[in-house]
Amino acid sequence: MILVPDNLAYFSTVSFVANDVTGTLALEESGVQGDLPVSAVAASVARKMNLSVDTPWALRDDESRLLEDNEPIGRQLRKKTGQELTLTPKTHLG
């Protein structure tokens, strides 16, 4: 038997609640393919919330950890269902 450390868990599909950074919009997503990069999932959530498609978006987990854009979402969430994420615009100062 091979044991996989928790931080290497991989979910083939995930479900979550995404909130916009202001907390005024919320969207329940289910059956999202776990192999999709976070950047694609964030863009899809923004479109469904009718937010700007010209803005690059990022997702943060419920501990304010920024999810890695190019990594699969199914490898970065701690739970397969019920996790809350925050959609936030990527902004750069200066």
* Per-residue pLDDT tens digits of the chain, which is 94 residues long: 444 445 556 889 999 999 999 999 999 999 999 999 999 999 999 999 999 989 999 999 999 999 999 999 999 998 899 999 999 999 864 4
Please give the residue range of the domain that contains residue 37: 13-89
What pLDDT sits at residue 39? 97
For the chain, the domain total comes to 1
Q: In 1-94, which residue ranges form alpha helices assigned H by DSSP?
A: 38-48, 73-76
20 belongs to a structural domain: yes
What pLDDT sits at residue 10? 82
CB 73, CB 32: distance < 8 Å: yes
60 belongs to a structural domain: yes
| 3-state SS, residue 10 | coil
Is the sign of the CA dihedral 61, 59, 65, 36 positive or negative?
positive
| CA Rg value for the chain | 13
What pLDDT sits at residue 8? 52
Residue 57 sits in a domain whose CATH number is: 3.10.20.90
47 belongs to a structural domain: yes
5 belongs to a structural domain: no
46 belongs to a structural domain: yes
6 belongs to a structural domain: no
Q: Give the position of tokens 């397969």.
A: 80
Look up residue 66 and give its amino acid. Answer: L
